[in-house]
Amino acid sequence: MIQHNDYFDLLKNNREWASEKLKSDPSYFKELGLPQKPKFLVIGCSDSRVPITSIIESEPGEIFVHSNIANQVNLTDINLLSIIEYSVEILNIEHIIVLGHYKCGGVKAAVEGLNEEDIVENWVSQISDLYHLHRRELELIPDKGKMYDRLSEMNVVVQLKNLLRTPIIQRAFRKKKKLWFHGWIFDIYTGLITDLILPLDEWKEYDLLPEDYFSAK
Active site residue 45: yes
Q: Catalytic pick from 6, 25, 49, 135?
A: 49
Residue 71 phi, psi (nearest 5) = 40, 55
End-to-end Cα spacing for the chain: 42
The SS3 call for residue 198 is coil
The amino acid present at 89, given as its one-letter code, is E
Q: Catalytic pick from 47, 66, 149, 150?
A: 47
Q: Catalytic pick from 4, 6, 25, 101?
A: 101
Q: Catalytic pick from 45, 66, 149, 150?
A: 45
**Could you tell me if 194 and 184 are in contact, meaning their C-beta atoms sit under 8 angstroms apart?**
yes
**Could you tell me if 144 and 102 are in contact, meaning their C-beta atoms sit under 8 angstroms apart?**
no
Q: Catalytic pick from 66, 104, 149, 150?
A: 104
- C-alpha to C-alpha distance for 109 and 117, rounded to whole angstroms: 10
Catalytic residue annotation:
45, 47, 49, 101, 104
